[in-house]
Amino acid sequence: MAEIGKKLKLNSGWLAARSTEVELSGAQLTTTHPPSIGPSSPWMEAAVPGTVLGTLVKNKVVPDPFYGLQNETIIDIADSGREYYTFWFFTTFQCKLSESQHLDLNFRAINYSAEVYINGHQKVLPKGMFRRHSLDVSDVMRPDGTNLLAVLVHPPDHPGRIPAQGGQGGDHEIGKDVAAQYVEGWDWMAPIRDRNTGIWDEVSISRTGPVKIIDPHLVSTFFDDYKRVYLHATLEMQNKSSWVADCSVNVQVTTELEGNICLVEHIQSQKVSVPAGSTIQYTFPQLYFYKPNLWWPNGMGKQSLYNVVISIDVDGFGESDSWNHHFGFRKIESDIDTATGGRLFKVNGQPIFIRGGNWILSDGLLRLSEKRYHTDIKFHADMNFNMIRCWGGGLAERPEFYHYCDTYGLLVWQEFWITGDVDGRGVPVSNPNGPLDHDLFLLCARDTVKLLRNHPSLALWVGGNEQVPPPDINAALKKDLELHPHFQTSSENEKWMVDSSSESEDPSQYLDGTRIYVQGSMWDGFANGKGDFTDGPYEIQYPENFFKDDFYKYGFNPEVGSIGMPVAATIRATMPSEGWEIPLVKKLPAGYVEEVPNPIWDYHKYIPYSKPHKVQSQIELYGSPKDLDDFCLKAQLANYIQYRALIEGWNCRMWKKYTGFLIWKTQNPWTGLRGQFYDHLLDQTAGFFGCRCAAEPIHVQLNLSTCCIEVVNTMSDDISGVAIEASVWDLEGTCPYFKVFEKLSLPPKQTSSIVEMEYPKSKDSKPVYFLLLKLYNVSNYGIISRNFYWLHQSGGDYKQLEPYRKSNIPIQVTSQVIIKGSTYEVRVNVQNKSKNAESSSLTYKNNFINRQGEGDPDSNSLPLENKEQTDKKRSTGFFHRICRRIVTGSNSPRLVETNGNAVGVAFFLHFSVHSSKAEGKEGEDTRILPVHYSDNYFSLVPGEAMPIKISFEAPPGVAPKITLHGWNLSHGLTVC
């Protein structure tokens, strides 16, 4: 049993059974007839946290709904009735209580309502998917310490029916409940048959003394240009005893210096008396800090976190309860920018250009895990994004999600559970008045605020997606989430006196008070700001269109999207062989084509790479694909170009026209075929690395509309002593254009146009060519930004690249493997060994500047450092500590190379990691996933070398094999 003030998670050992197959009552299950698994038993191992459908899939009672068309074989709740998905969940736990101790049984979320039985005693959990439940079960504990728990979980009241034509949110009935709305299906998602019924979030027990801590609220206020900072804390104290509790209420603030060595910044203790059987609110005297380490978003600085511990000692008892949370000192401000009309965000007084993505949820069956959340959020940081929008039809995201956003510097836009399709429009027209129970919605909203408000990554609350909540809900949220005066505008900072004698002015006494509330995703500085449909587009574009002034009219686009085809191995792993057929192509006038996907791709919401009469096929530009592998490889080429161009198009008008954008969307909660940078199996598309390139804090790019070389500097300081190297390479391996632009000075927070490229206009320019841009420090040739393009002349195509696949370019790879347990870190150096007579500098070595703050090569924040001068490791804290690596296994460097003799660009090189077992049956997926790459889908000009870091965990007993593939690397090269 957990110690006083510590929770014990009940996340294993659960059983589940359909309620109609269990004849016993809850009292019987938890007294005389506890269940067990057997040949004639309806009971099975349960997924808790998880859902009913997740449990059925885990036990192979139903097929995997994300594979092929198997979701169509699973009975929908509209056809089966709610009882079919009403399930019992059962477990046991050990606990004995001493005198004056209390035990709480905690459910962080259940969908949708439940009856709880513990040792024969019943407690009812009310409705609502997004609310916490805490039950004092002290009086029903068994003397022998073995306690039996059974929970009967009921589905949402209005699960709805899926129309034959599908649609956004099915028939919209789910909108009558306070629940996730995506479960009836969307244009990117198939319906979830049980509507996510289940104990879908953490279950725990926690032991306290007579006084319990409830929902502390931490707030920091800043003065003197962020040198003087005050920490405010308010909490509720519940006295469960029948006598007055005289307490010492303590707060301790520590910061981690190195590894697990911590510095205690503050300790404070206050005397408080809590009347018998009552709950009081208590506010600490503010704590003063001078020049604390600030928390910054990804790309702007370090994500410094402090650990705040609050504890209560009761006279005559001892420690009664404790609570801790990681906290970041930072101030987020937001207003509508007068220059662009877009929503402007400032962090610690610095404007931040928002480049981020829309997030649905990690997994459609709510198989949520801390490990997957870590990968998800790290992937977003690896792409150099700085904001994630939690879309209103999905979840109020979990604390584990927010923890990793805190760790990696991802600002979070959190919406409540309103979407226009389900709450006011659609076919059939949905109910505009939101859920039936407005009080329940507000209860869930307020509880969600209390759950998440202490996370520094949380940037704003939004009422709904493409809709505002009903007037009474909207008014209540505006009032509840009103800003404290200190956070209203920068000019108010000094007006609010930190030593104010009025307790009501302490910001920690607000429900939140530190971050804005916006009523809807297209209001108040987003899209046209008036709620009109001015987000999007969501389809393939000509890359140069993103750079044109008329592509998007408004300052901040909350949703702009495109294609997202995964690699061929993912198609084979998630579909039967009939799903491996590539789209049929219908020829249309003027060179346009229409793609006709197979039924499985259509079910998985494939979005085409062509738009008839508007955009010619961005796959056919490379020649008609022969098979699945060829199609998916060419799709990756298009993915890279499409998303790099999207971001670079916004970059070129940073602060002049735009304040930010969010791509729809970054990932898929199932095996979908659209709008993603990594698939549901956690393999990245090439679009991932196109984003990673384009969203660098300091970035050199080509404006595809004006043909000008530009440098994007999102940082707060100017950059001097730098130069740009521009080289053009043709398919014969020669360099017809090479220039260096020196003595550059790049202003802060600005995109600077440097020079117009001459090559495309020269009379001897080639129809297809490569352009390599490098921004580097003149003093040491350290690369700040590298950007490689493959380009064709206006009106042309890339079909000359098809015979280029036969070029046998000599490649040399040096690798070294570091192993710690199951974790592999592989450092490779890939070099194009073609002769490079034209190179006139040392930049071909690609000695990259380290822009990683603490040295993690998979995150990006300044200041600039030379990579050879630092090799520190980031500390994530809280759940996992990534300390300095202790090497327990290391192989000697290994060198492998091809015997090619051609001269030219090694094009579109990409690594993959597999188990090294012999080839399995057709369609078997041998990939090891996820893998973190410092770069992938890269190209090397003659003589050029690229250092790459690859890290992953190998399953037990599996020996990994790393292979390098490439457009003109005819056979994969096994690296190690």
User: Which residues are marked as active site?
Assistant: 466, 559
Torsion of the alpha carbons at 364, 369, 374 and 380, rounded to the nearest 10: 10
3-state secondary structure 55-98: HHHHCCCCCCCCCCCHHHHCCCHHHHCHHHHCEEEEEEEECCCC
In terms of Cβ atoms closer than 10 Å to its own Cβ (0-12, 13-18, 19+), residue 760 is middle
Contact 654, 698 (CB under 8 A): no
User: Would you state the structure tokens that stand for residue 463, as one six-digit string?
Assistant: 């009422």
Interacting residues of 38 by C-beta distance below 8 A, sequence separation 6+? none
CA angle 827, 828, 831 (to 5 degrees): 155
* CA 210 – CA 312 distance, rounded (Å): 10
Start-to-end CA span in the chain (Å): 46
Helices and strands per DSSP (H, E), number in the chain? 12, 49
Interacting residues of 692 by C-beta distance below 8 A, sequence separation 6+? 382, 383, 384, 935
* CA 517 – CA 508 distance, rounded (Å): 17
Contact 963, 973 (CB under 8 A): yes
Give the C-alpha distances (Å, rounded to integers) separating 316 from 101, 248, 319.
13, 11, 10
Backbone φ, ψ for residue 727 (5° rounding): -135, 140
233 has which bridge partners? 218
Look at residue 31 and give its three-state secondary structure.
Answer: coil
Q: Which of 828, 830, 831 is nearest to 817 (CA)?
A: 828
Q: Which of 283, 327, 292 is nearest to 309 (CA)?
A: 327
Residues shown for the chain: 976
Assign 3-state DSSP to the chain and report helix, strand, coil percentages, each to 5.
15, 35, 50
* CA 155 – CA 143 distance, rounded (Å): 34
* CA 286 – CA 222 distance, rounded (Å): 12
As a whole number of Å, the CA-based R_g of the chain is 29
Look at residue 39 and give its three-state secondary structure.
Answer: coil
- What DSSP string describes 315-382? TTTEEEEEEEEEE-B--EEEEE-TTTSSEEEEETTEEE-EEEEEE--S-TT----HHHHHHHHHHHHH
- What DSSP string describes 470-526? -HHHHHHHHHHTPPPGGGT-GGGTTTS-TT-S-GGG-GGGSSS-SS-EESSTTBTTS
Contact 228, 288 (CB under 8 A): yes
- What DSSP string describes 571-613? HHHHS-GGGGPPPEEEE-GGG-EEEE--HHHHHTT---S-BTT
Cβ count near 3 (within 10 Å): 11
791 has which bridge partners? 769
Interacting residues of 388 by C-beta distance below 8 A, sequence separation 6+? 356, 357, 358, 359, 377, 380, 405, 410, 411, 412, 413, 666
Q: Which of 633, 937, 644 is nearest to 798 (CA)?
A: 633
* CA 586 – CA 607 distance, rounded (Å): 16
312 has which bridge partners? 249, 321
Interacting residues of 578 by C-beta distance below 8 A, sequence separation 6+? 598, 600
